[in-house]
Amino acid sequence: MNDDEVTRLDDLLERFRREWMAGVRQAARDASGGRAGRGAFRVLEALVGRGERSPSELAEDVGVRTSTMTTHLDRLEEWGWAQRHADPGHGARVRVAATEQGRDAYQRFVAGRHAVLRHLLEAVPPDGRHAWAEALTAWAEHRRTAGVPS
């Protein structure tokens, strides 16, 4: 790629990212009745996708400090979306699990996120969407085989 192509792609990706993220923020508000932002759903995503975790594991998964995770968990518990309990094998250690309400909220968020993506891509012809999916799949596979964490 030459410099002009890179500059154009950078501009287009940034424009897409801005619209995508605005839609994702709205999907989070819609899925939570205006209570939660993207951060709460990142925590739920880790819990739903990886199962029960310790607060420190969640903080690492999500990429935040443990003090920030504590704040997230306080809110998630207040809303009935997560529950902390003692780790049966380790006394003072705590584990966190998503509740059924939390899984439902997360599924609403994912459905909203998918709707945003469908809306953004409806202007792209089917063969263009297919080419984009193939390009992103190749990129992700390259990153995976290179050992880059996702």
Extents of the domains making up the chain? 3-145
Backbone angles phi, psi at 89, to 5 degrees: -95, -5
Q: How far apart are the first and last CA of the chain?
A: 25
CA dist list (Å): 63 to 32, 68, 108: 22, 10, 23
> Distance between CA 121 and CA 149 in Å, rounded?
27
pLDDT number for residue 84: 94
pLDDT tens by residue, the chain, 150 residues: 899 999 999 999 999 999 999 999 999 999 999 999 989 999 999 999 999 999 999 999 999 999 999 999 999 999 999 999 988 777 778 999 999 999 999 999 999 999 999 999 999 999 999 999 999 999 999 998 888 776
> Distance between CA 25 and CA 36 in Å, rounded?
9
Secondary-structure class of domain 3-145 per CATH: mainly alpha
